[in-house]
Amino acid sequence: MRVSNILLPSLKEIPAEAVIASHQLMLRAGLIRKMSAGVYSYLPLGLRALRKVENVVRQEMDLAGAQEFALPLILTREIWEESGRYAVMGDLMMKVRDRAGKDFVLAPTAEEGFVSIIRDELKSWRQLPFTVYQIGKKFRDEIRPRFGVMRGREFLMKDAYSFDRDQEDLANSYDAMRRAYLRIFRRVGLEVIGVAADSGAMGGSGSEEFMVPSAVGENEIVVCHACNRAANVETARCADDAAAGDADTPIAESVGTPAAGSAAAPREAAAPLAKVATPDVRTIEELCAFFSCSPKIFLKSLIYAYTDKDGKRCFALAVIRGDLEVNEVKLAGCLGTSEVALASDAEVERVSGAPTGFAGPVGISGVPIIADLSVRALPAGITGANGRDMHYTGVAHGRDWTATNWADIRTVREGDACEICGKPLALFRGIEVGHIFKLGDKYTKAFGVFYQSESGENRVPIMGCYGIGVDRTLASVIEQHHDADGIIWPAAIAPFDVMIVPINWAHEPTRAAALRLAEELEALGLEVLLDDRDARAGFKFKDADLFGVPLRVTIGEKTLADAEAEWRRRHDKEGGRVPLASAAAFIREEHQRLLADGQ
């Protein structure tokens, strides 16, 4: 392929809209162009790389025994109502209506589509287990699409689903997909870490995310280097640090002298419950200053709203130690819902009888109280009194209030102790490129899917779900493989294998040598980009580095006089000279080495 025959609109300046390396380089190298917020078009160079990633995914899915389908992008509203997710996913869905007034959904995922097909086709246990997949567009109405194709409203996704007879089948299917994922990411040149994760609105159990370590990642990962274990912060646990007060301060003495003009604070764990006026004191920081004490003495009480299984808006009170933060994913799991959100100011006042900042578990009614395990260590604490400008001191669980449910609802912090070995936990950020779930029978039961067992009974199959973001994988490769000059493509997914740069295209012997080498390389099965532009050599070299083709061959009058060409690897900029007569075979061998080394 000649550069003059392909649209390669490279940019020398960094676009103002792009804040991460992959977005900047995909725009600068002419891989993509923005159509609207979160919606991008792929140009020829970008599409070639995207198709390479897609092909790696397809090859490994086929090797793992999965069967490829092609599902429609648009599905009726009724299918989503069968699963119950039409209400749960809500505004995240892209919705359309046809001329007859019928409602449709642009598929944000593919569980409903696949299960509705399998429901009609599955008959006997002899058909199980099997795995199906597709690679297709998905649509989600993201509130804040950003980072180019990393988080868009339209994206390319590989969805796979296993249908299994029992937990043993599911474990085997899950393991096969996990191994396939590790091969995929290794082949495309990605360093990934598998982390335990939350299944969220997908349901089920046994969930693992594949994370690319990156400072720009949207996910926070907790890792114990001593145990070699990692988990998404949404599900990560730590050791229960029973000492609620400061390390060197007994609980009974952790409440100091109140600020001037305030009532006396409790001095002993057995102190009676007392109501204290706290005018305009709402936050933990303000309360610490008011009572001259550690945040660890407070029962931070927050009212959350959520939707129950019948679609009703409900509320719950979360109680946690004052220096900790509520993990909303864990809290949602305790409440049996997919997500929670802080109640509005009006809702807080309706539930607690007081403005935001003064809620507490003492005397509140009509809502479940979910208490974090950290609160158990507080023999006496301070919390809101469900009245304007009022707090309780000397608050004791069992005497003054009772939790509906004790649970781990805290967000793990850097330095917290590992629950296994006790060593400090570390946090890093990561980009999620793949996610696998053990779904169980959530969708097959909802859709009434049955198979006849060996004994003639009707049974519900169980499922696994396995997704890879293809666009996101491509962008993540660029995040991990670039330098100040541009993209550094791993050989397996580079849009071209070799770029030939003639120093002076107008020089007939140079042009003839470049064309001859291009033909020889293509005859050996390599994809060649030939820069036939009448431009300065430095300009061409800059573009070659920006485009990131793994191998570059330069032909000029000086090397031609010696019947040689210069060659260079993009990833380490190492190279040298090679005789023109053997250049094609040499470059092919070098390309094979790059593939074998995953570079």
Q: How many domains does the chain have?
A: 3
Please check whether residue 419 lies inside any domain of the structure. Answer: no
pLDDT digits (tens, 9 = 90+) for 96-133: 999 999 999 999 999 999 999 999 999 999 999 999 99
CATH number at residue 160: 3.30.930.10
Please check whether residue 41 lies inside any domain of the structure. Answer: yes
Q: Are residues 519 and 563 in the same domain?
A: yes
Please check whether residue 577 lies inside any domain of the structure. Answer: yes
CATH number at residue 504: 3.40.50.800
The confidence score (pLDDT) of residue 379 equals 82
CB 585 within 8 A of CB 524: yes
Q: Are residues 444 and 561 in the same domain?
A: no
Q: Are residues 315 and 193 in the same domain?
A: no
CB 528 within 8 A of CB 587: no
Closest to 152 in 3D by CA, of 479, 466, 472: 472
Q: What does the pLDDT average to over 54-61?
A: 98
The confidence score (pLDDT) of residue 151 equals 92
Enclosing domain of residue 112:
3-8+15-71+108-237+428-478
Would you call 539 helix, strand, or coil by DSSP? helix
Q: Are residues 217 and 323 in the same domain?
A: no
Please check whether residue 280 lies inside any domain of the structure. Answer: yes
The confidence score (pLDDT) of residue 201 equals 41
Q: Are residues 184 and 307 in the same domain?
A: no
CATH number at residue 338: 3.90.960.10
Report CA torsion sign: 542, 544, 546, 551: negative
Please check whether residue 414 lies inside any domain of the structure. Answer: no
Among 407, 437, 457, identify where a domain stops. 407
> Does the pTM exceed 0.85?
no
| DSSP code, position 264 | P
Q: Are residues 321 and 390 in the same domain?
A: yes
Q: Are residues 113 and 206 in the same domain?
A: yes
Q: Are residues 381 and 460 in the same domain?
A: no
The confidence score (pLDDT) of residue 242 equals 55
Which residue type is seen at 497? D
The pLDDT of residue 543 is above 90: yes
Q: Which of 165-169, 195-199, 212-216, 460-464 has the lowest mean pLDDT?
A: 195-199
Rounded to 10 deg, the angle between the 21-28 and 470-480 helix axes is 100
Counting every residue, how long is the chain?
A: 599
Q: What does the pLDDT average to over 228-257?
A: 60
The pLDDT of residue 258 is above 60: no
CB 177 within 8 A of CB 64: yes
Among 350, 373, 407, identify where a domain stops. 407
The confidence score (pLDDT) of residue 534 equals 93
Among 407, 438, 455, identify where a domain stops. 407
* 55 phi-psi bin (left φ>0, alpha ψ -120 to 50, beta other): alpha
**Separation between Cα atoms, residue 229 and residue 243, nearest integer Å:** 25
| DSSP code, position 379 | S
Q: Are residues 226 and 307 in the same domain?
A: no
Please report, for residues 106, 278, 318, 531, the alpha-carbon distance to residue 389 in angstroms, rounded to integers and kept in the order given: 49, 5, 20, 73
CB 170 within 8 A of CB 164: yes
Average pLDDT, whole number, for the chain? 91
Please check whether residue 359 lies inside any domain of the structure. Answer: yes
Please check whether residue 97 lies inside any domain of the structure. Answer: no
Find the DSSP H helices in 244-365.
284-291, 328-335, 345-352
**Separation between Cα atoms, residue 492 and residue 520, nearest integer Å:** 20
Please check whether residue 98 lies inside any domain of the structure. Answer: no
Res. 257 pLDDT band, cuts 50 70 90 = very low
pLDDT digits (tens, 9 = 90+) for 527-541: 999 999 999 999 999
pLDDT digits (tens, 9 = 90+) for 173-224: 999 999 999 999 999 999 999 998 765 443 445 789 999 999 889 889 999 9
The pLDDT of residue 75 is above 90: yes
Closest to 459 in 3D by CA, of 113, 123, 202: 123
The confidence score (pLDDT) of residue 72 equals 95
Q: Are residues 117 and 35 in the same domain?
A: yes
Q: Are residues 182 and 270 in the same domain?
A: no
pLDDT digits (tens, 9 = 90+) for 329-358: 999 999 988 889 999 999 999 999 999 999
Q: Are residues 327 and 208 in the same domain?
A: no
- Cβ atoms within 10 Å of 229's Cβ, excluding its own: 17
The confidence score (pLDDT) of residue 376 equals 87
pLDDT digits (tens, 9 = 90+) for 8-41: 999 989 988 899 999 999 999 999 999 999 999 9
The confidence score (pLDDT) of residue 338 equals 80
The confidence score (pLDDT) of residue 265 equals 36
